[in-house]
Structure 1
Amino acid sequence: MTQRKSDTPAATGGGLPMAVGAYLIWGLLPLYLRLVHQVPPFEFVGWRIVFTLPLCLAFIAARRQFGDLLVALRQPRVVAMLALSSLLIGANWLIYIAAIMNGHVFATSLGYYINPLVNVLIGTVFLHERLSRLQWAAVGIAAIGVVVLAWGARDMVWIALALAGSFSAYGVVRKLVPVGSLPGLTIESAILYLPAVAVVVLYAAGPQGSAMGTSAAMSLLIALSGVLTAVPLLLFALAARRMDLSTLGFVQFLSPTIVFVLGLTVFGEPLRPVQLVSFVLIWTAIALFVADLLRRRSAAKPPA
């Protein structure tokens, strides 16, 4: 299979800026979801997919990747893997949006705090990635922090586990599937497109009608969901092909931390002592992990 040179793991050094960009957008997403909270979660996920596919096709045309797209579509194994990843990300969207719109902001934050630990586990056990002793210490401290946080939110743990499990599995599939980031996302969106159209049509025919068209502002906000879906997913897919899953997982702590802060400052959820302790433990772990990455990168540089 042919790929654009810029999208192959071997041709790229690091995906850290792309990962940071993706997680910044995802971290700030609750602010956007607050603006569209009156749209039912099922309908909103449908509109996300409806507006994501045309945007992906426009990107494909701009980057002249229709050849790559056709090559991927001719490979049943690739299409099957992308069908699995599309179901995983669709389920993840639905759980996340429903949780945010129902006021469970900390539960979503907890889910994406658990997710990096699952990524580290998958990366080391199944993908044979190696961590240093200091990085394992960071993982241990983060795990303690997540357990503390989970114990303080036992009634919402199922939301967190569903989010963590679905997105970790999605990341593994996207890392392993032999297809470029943009063609892969386009195929995922195409697989989900007809079900998404069916959902928005059903809502339009229902007693309350479609949220699209209720006002110009609301219609514009719903249409914006395509950009806010495609751009971070593309950045994530690019980063996943350039970085170890374990390292990518630790960068992901950025997103739930932003969500956590938004829960306190914007959504008015109270900060409990157990959450503060967990927060300190997790960020101590992040500091250790990043310090070790910087130390190893500095040691790997040739002397001037």
Structure 2
Amino acid sequence: MPESNRGVALGAGAFLLWGFAALYWPFLSASAPAEILAHRMVWALLAMCVFLLLARRGWSWLPALLRDPRKLLLVAAAAVLISLNWWGFIYAVSITQTLQASLAYFINPLMTVGMGVVFFSERLRRTQWIAIALGLAAVLVMTVAYGSTPWLSLLMASSFASYAAVKKYVNLDGMQSLTVETLIMFLPALGYVVYLEATGAGTAFSVSPAHTALLVGGGFVTALPLLLFGVAARRVPLSIIGMLQFIAPTMMFLIGWLLQGEEMPLSRWIGFGFVWLAVCVFVYDQVRNARRRSAARASVAEVVEEPPVSRQG
């Protein structure tokens, strides 16, 4: 299989796993979302250590990071933001609000683009402004549809967009970065787990062996798609990754609507209609811009390779 095709397959696999995660966390309904999150942090570190060993990556990069307070602070901020995103997702699917999780990851790319304007002074193309306007319209319609602001969606989307913005300044690959992020959150998470078990409020060993195994497995459910995504991102263009990322929220939408039976009145259909229209405009802009850049590079290559014309007489 060509490298590009293998990259697409790995990327699709990552987003499929993220979509199926909406079915995983409800199996842990005996635990509170905060306890699930703590176990997710603890066991994600174990999973990342296993993957680092399998990939033979080693730890030679860690001392340099620990000697850089600025970079370490940025990684710590990223750890807090991704933890907030994880909690929001776990809480949403635990209370059967998977559609809010779906909405979050549909509007996340638009929010990321908006942050580029606010914090990095990036200039947007007209179609990107149209996509953002449609995304804002979708949030307003959803506010009416839910009877209140869809704060879970906004929390998940804003925390992940902020996470991406912080990671822009951290020169680590995905595997290294997630390892350090889970390492930073490990002690607070472990302390919370120990506290729950000591006070009798924990569920890690009091429900069933299957429940315990699912808590441990949450670390691998967290780490595996990120590992696949990291490999895919190095093998395929970002424009392809940008289109693949909508696999997960589409699956979450179908899970929430068809499997979990969440209500979809007309107002929500209208809201999601605005979201999907925004996504279509966004993807169209990404594809068109990628083609323009490819054509420009091809033109430059032709000019460079063209032999000089000899002049006679």
Name the TM tier (shorter chain).
Answer: 0.7 to 0.9
Change (3 A) 1:231 1:150: farther
Between the aligned partners of 1:21 and 1:167, the Cα distance in structure 2 is: 20
Structure 1 residue aligned with 2:161, among 155, 168, 174? 168
Deviation sequence 1:72-109 (CA, Å, 0-9, x none)? 22211111111111111112222321232122223333
- For 1:31, the aligned partner's letter is L
Deviation sequence 1:146-167 (CA, Å, 0-9, x none)? 3212331243522222222222
2:210 alignment counterpart: 217
User: SS of the residue aligned with 1:155?
Assistant: coil
- For 2:221, the aligned partner's letter is L
Deviation sequence 1:108-164 (CA, Å, 0-9, x none)? 333333422221111233334444333332333333223212331243522222222
Structure 2 residue aligned with 1:144, among 137, 140, 144? 137
2:24 alignment counterpart: 32
Structure 2 residue aligned with 1:133, among 110, 126, 142? 126
User: SS of the residue aligned with 1:220?
Assistant: helix
Is residue 107–residue 153 contact of structure 1 (8 Å, CA) maintained in 2?
no
Change (3 A) 1:246 1:171: farther
Comparing 93-102 with 124-133, greater Cα deviation is found at 124-133
Is residue 49–residue 193 contact of structure 1 (8 Å, CA) maintained in 2?
yes
- For 2:108, the aligned partner's letter is N
How far 1:220 sits from its partner (Å)?
A: 1.9
Change (3 A) 1:244 1:83: farther
Q: What is the percentage of aligned positions where both structures have the same residue?
A: 35
Change (3 A) 1:131 1:254: farther
Is residue 35–residue 202 contact of structure 2 (8 Å, CA) maintained in 1?
no
1:282 aligns with 2:282: no
1:197 alignment counterpart: 190
Between the aligned partners of 2:240 and 2:270, the Cα distance in structure 1 is: 24
How far 1:184 sits from its partner (Å)?
A: 1.3
Is residue 123–residue 246 contact of structure 1 (8 Å, CA) maintained in 2?
no
Between the aligned partners of 1:91 and 1:104, the Cα distance in structure 2 is: 17
- For 2:193, the aligned partner's letter is V
User: SS of the residue aligned with 1:66?
Assistant: coil
Between the aligned partners of 2:30 and 2:281, the Cα distance in structure 1 is: 42
Change (3 A) 1:243 1:117: farther
Aligned residues: 291
- For 1:286, the aligned partner's letter is V
How far 1:268 sits from its partner (Å)?
A: 0.9
Change (3 A) 1:139 1:24: farther
Change (3 A) 1:168 1:203: same
1:57 aligns with 2:62: no
Between the aligned partners of 1:121 and 1:167, the Cα distance in structure 2 is: 13
Structure 1 residue aligned with 2:258, among 238, 250, 265? 265
2:77 alignment counterpart: 84
Change (3 A) 1:159 1:209: closer
Between the aligned partners of 2:125 and 2:235, the Cα distance in structure 1 is: 19
How far 1:249 sits from its partner (Å)?
A: 7.0
- Mark the runs of 5 or more structure 1 residues left unpaired by the alignment: 1-11
1:7 alignment counterpart: none
Q: Quick check: which has more Rg, 1 or 2?
A: 2
Deviation sequence 1:11-53 (CA, Å, 0-9, x none)? x9xx977665444332221100121111221211111111111
1:116 aligns with 2:109: yes
- For 1:291, the aligned partner's letter is Y
How far 1:205 sits from its partner (Å)?
A: 2.0
Is residue 107–residue 275 contact of structure 2 (8 Å, CA) maintained in 1?
no
Comparing 152-161 with 232-241, greater Cα deviation is found at 232-241
2:285 alignment counterpart: 292
- For 2:59, the aligned partner's letter is F
How far 1:283 sits from its partner (Å)?
A: 1.9
How far 1:237 sits from its partner (Å)?
A: 6.3
